[in-house]
Amino acid sequence: MVLNVAIKCVAASALLVGAGGVFSQENSPAQAPRNVVQLSASGAVEVQQDLLTMVLSTSRDGTDAGVVQTQLKAALDVALTEAKKAVQPGQLDVRTGNFSLFPRYGKDSKIVGWQGSTELVLEGRDFARIASTAGKIGTLTMGNVSFGLSRSQRAQVEGQAQAMAIEQFKAKAGEIAKGFGFAGYSLREVSVNASDTGGMPRPRMMAMEAKMASSDMAVPVEAGKSTVQVTVSGAVQLQ
């Protein structure tokens, strides 16, 4: 009987060792990928800015909040009426901007008056129409001028820059594979990012010119150029 017990114990011990060996294999870390290269390439296209945004504004100050608000509303209504005469979707769109009214405090922390401001935004691709309309609005003055790209222009240029970036990426990947003695490559992962930069206008100078101009004169504007850049980055497997 004693001998039988000893044999059973040895068999059980061997089974545990075998199970431990299987467990160790199942949990071994996977091998890291080999012959993988990270790279990026960019394509850039310079294009004329075709979107103009003008912000016209005015401010009022008084001791009565209701009076200040009424004055601002009246100035905005007159400006809106004039601007809407020239509205043409895509060429000149009009929308109201910020409208604010806040108290002005004295030395004793008590309200001594009220200050407020309102804005009207003119935006579109017809620069002459926008500039002419802005010059006819007498109740608001120039607050800010900015240029950019319309959605259609941006989409078209991004497509061109993206095609350039992809071709550059493929060419670079092929050169790297060849340089290391591989026949080619396969794409593992990729990301595409787009951005644009453009020259900043001179809103202060233009605002001064607009102020000196008569009410029926167009506000002088001149657009610059934007550079749209698309970057393609990712990893390739050399084969």
Q: What is the 3-state secondary structure (H, E, C) of 11-60?
A: HHHHHHHHHHHHHHHHCCCCCCCCCEEEEEEEEEEEEECCEEEEEEEEEE
Q: Say which residues have a Cβ less than 8 Å from residue 120's Cβ, sequence separation at least 6.
A: 55, 56, 57, 76, 79, 80, 83, 94, 95, 96, 97, 137, 140
| Span 194-204, pLDDT tens digits | 998 865 444 43
Q: Which domains does the chain have, with CATH numbers?
A: 33-50+149-239 (3.30.110.170), 51-148 (3.30.70.2970)
Lateral strand order in the sheet of 141-148: 93-105, 111-124, 51-62, 141-148
Hey, what are 189's tokens? Answer: 């992962």
Of 205 and 82, more confident: 82
| Span 141-175, pLDDT tens digits | 998 999 999 999 999 999 999 999 999 999 999 99
Alpha-carbon dihedral sign for residues 209, 214, 215, 217: negative
DSSP 86: T
Hey, what are 96's tokens? Answer: 């109201």
User: Does pLDDT of 216 surpass 90?
Assistant: no
| Span 77-128, pLDDT tens digits | 999 999 999 999 999 999 999 999 999 999 888 999 999 999 999 999 999 9
**Distance between CA atoms of residues 56 and 71, nearest Å:** 16
Average pLDDT of the chain is 83
CA 137 to chain centre: 31
Q: Report the SS3 class of residue 125.
A: coil
Hey, what are 108's tokens? Answer: 């004793």
